[in-house]
Amino acid sequence: MMEWTDRHCRFFHRLLSPHARLYTEMVTTGALLHGDVARHLRFHEREHPVALQLGGSEPDDLAQCARLAQHWGYDEINLNCGCPSERVQRGAFGACLMAEPELVADCVRAMLDAVPIPVTVKHRIGIDQQESYEFVRDFVGQVSEAGCRVFMVHARNAWLKGLSPKQNREVPPLRYELVYRLKQDFPHLTMVLNGGLTETVQIQQALVKLDGVMIGREAYHHPYKLALWEADFFGADSLPQRAAIIDAMAHYAELEQRLHATPLRAITKHLLGLYNGLPGARAFRRLLSDAAALKQAGPELLHHALQLVEREYQLYEQSEFQD
């Protein structure tokens, strides 16, 4: 989710789901140790609970980054052992770390020694042609011995060569049964399922056997599903109105522009799917992705987009009534 689940996206998603745990995009240890820490770690207090996802493979570097995460107020540190991109592999982290469970255990141990907040691991069920259950079982076993108690399992293999990151999310088959077996073999650990989850019924089925689910791209492209899942799984009494969400995001954009000179485009790009499936969705997306409009306008552009949607919805209702 690099360049997707930034702080603006997470603030938006928190408006839709007060209880979901939010995760940052993956931030590399190098970016924190040698770059602009505030740019990577700043977040709004409303985002809690929020976890920092780290990419790295040097225990000392990860420990130092864990201290930064604690200082900035994060609720969890998540080590990425699932990203298959070649750029990440060149940095010797991501999915290729599954071949080195001892190193991952050392990384987890170093972070847990450095900070009191939980350290979790996100990983795949295998790499390349290694498809045996024993491979992922042994990985989880060794890493859990270092103190990790929560595992987010993307239920596909990661192919380190021959597939793009996008293909790695689609081509290797989903094998949920391996994640179910992990929970059976490690009942004391928290197992969270990731990969291919798009509908409520899938989530319900997974939660019968597991402790949680992690949803990425579906929540991003169809964000209002977060509000529906909030109602289904956390018992929200009412659904948030999309107009109220837009109003809150306009206020947020105004503060961001004033305090941090944040370009409006950095915020509106995350909102494009809010009206997916409804009349006016195309006009809403078109206006909020219009480079010229975004350059000239301020946060009031969000209210203009809302007016477009409402106008088209009225026209839709009138045509339905006439039919």
- How many angstroms separate the CA atoms of 96 and 57, rounded? 10
Residue type for 3, please?
A: E
- How many angstroms separate the CA atoms of 195 and 158, rounded? 12
Peptide bond preceding 49 in cis form (omega within 30 of 0): yes
Residues contacting residue 247 through CB under 8 Å, at least 6 positions apart: 303, 306
Residues contacting residue 123 through CB under 8 Å, at least 6 positions apart: 81, 82, 95, 97, 98, 136, 139, 151, 152, 153, 154
Q: Supply the residues annotated as catalytic.
A: 83
How confident is the prediction along the chain (323 residues), in pLDDT tens digits per residue?
778 999 999 999 999 999 999 999 999 999 999 999 999 999 999 999 999 999 999 999 999 999 999 999 999 999 999 988 776 666 678 899 999 999 999 999 999 999 999 999 999 999 998 889 999 999 999 999 999 999 999 999 998 887 787 888 888 899 999 999 999 999 999 999 999 999 999 999 999 999 999 999 999 999 999 999 999 999 988 899 999 999 999 999 999 999 999 999 999 999 999 999 999 999 999 999 999 999 988 999 999 999 999 998 787 666 655 55
Q: Please, where are the H alpha helices in 186-241?
A: 200-209, 217-221, 224-234
Under 8 Å between Cβ of 283 and 254: no
Structure confidence at residue 201 (pLDDT): 97
Q: Which among 134, 136, 109 is positioned nearest to 122, based on CA atoms?
A: 136
